[in-house]
Homo-oligomer: A and B are copies of this chain.
Amino acid sequence: MTAATTLLAALEGSGHRTTGPRRIVAELVAGQDGAFTAVGLESAARAGGVHVGRATIFRAIELFESLGVVERVDLPAGDHAYVACVSHHHHHVICTTCGRSTEVEDVGIEALARTVGRRTGFRVDEHRLELFGICPDCQRVASGT
Q: Is the CB of A132 within 8 A of B139?
A: no
The minimal Cβ–Cβ distance linking A58 to chain B, given in whole angstroms, is: 12
Q: Is the CB of A76 within 8 A of B134?
A: no
18-66 of chain A: CB within 8 A of chain B: none
Residues of B within 8 A of A139 (CB): 123
Tell me if A88 is interfacial: C-beta within 8 Å of chain B: no
A41 vs B6: C-alpha distance when bound (angstroms): 43
Residue positions of A touching B, CB distance < 8 A:
72, 74, 76, 78, 80, 93, 95-96, 102, 104, 107-109, 112-113, 115-117, 119-136, 139
10 closest A-B pairs by CB: A74-B74, A124-B133, A121-B136, A126-B132, A122-B133, A123-B134, A127-B131, A93-B122, A129-B129, A128-B130
Q: List 14 A-B contacts (CB under 8 A).
A: A74-B74, A76-B126, A104-B116, A104-B120, A107-B115, A108-B112, A113-B131, A116-B131, A122-B135, A123-B139, A124-B133, A125-B133, A128-B128, A128-B130
